[in-house]
Amino acid sequence: MGKTELNPKQLDARGLRVAVVAARYNPKVADGLLKGALLALQEMGLPETEIDLYRVPGAFELPLLAQQLAKTGKADAVVCLGVVIRGDTSHFDYVCEGVTQGLMRATLETQIPMAFGVLTTDNEAQALARAADDDHNKGREAALTAVEMALLKKRIHHG
């Protein structure tokens, strides 16, 4: 089954406020995800002044800060970016499960869309390919998802 590509020009983010929480761990990859997300937000018309950027140590720290930001009521959506690369131990599984469940729980508890831009790859090459400077950048996709969900939520509540 193919996926539907969404063009940033199809979404108008003006009037929204978006928080971006990006992990610093694995900086070559994390910075690529962040670049893709910020570019997509800009392409959707979101001014820099309406983007709140926060960096956390690693992916495991994303849920707490994302939840705290959502609870302030200042963000219409939160873009969560990070990378977890499989190693030789079960640490990968614990981190991936914790981040995934934590972000889902935070989204449901706060009712603020949180886009999952966390790469879970077997190696660095896979991660770098998904954080490349192109239209397949997963940070870009997370930003598109966050804005689309914020707009859908507004439509439901405001008609």
Strands 77-85 and 18-23 turn out to be: parallel
Domains of the chain (ranges; CATH) run: 35-65+80-158 (3.40.50.960)
Query: What pLDDT band is residue 1 in, cutting at 50, 70 and 90?
Result: very low
Angle at 82 between CA 80 and CA 86, to 5 degrees: 140
29-67, pLDDT tens digit by residue?
999 999 999 999 999 999 999 999 999 999 999 999 999
Q: Which residues are catalytic?
A: 91
Reduced to 3 states (helix: H, G, I; strand: E, B; else coil), residue 82 is strand
Query: What pLDDT band is residue 9 in, cutting at 50, 70 and 90?
Result: confident
Mean pLDDT lowest among 1-10, 37-46, 102-111, 149-158: 1-10
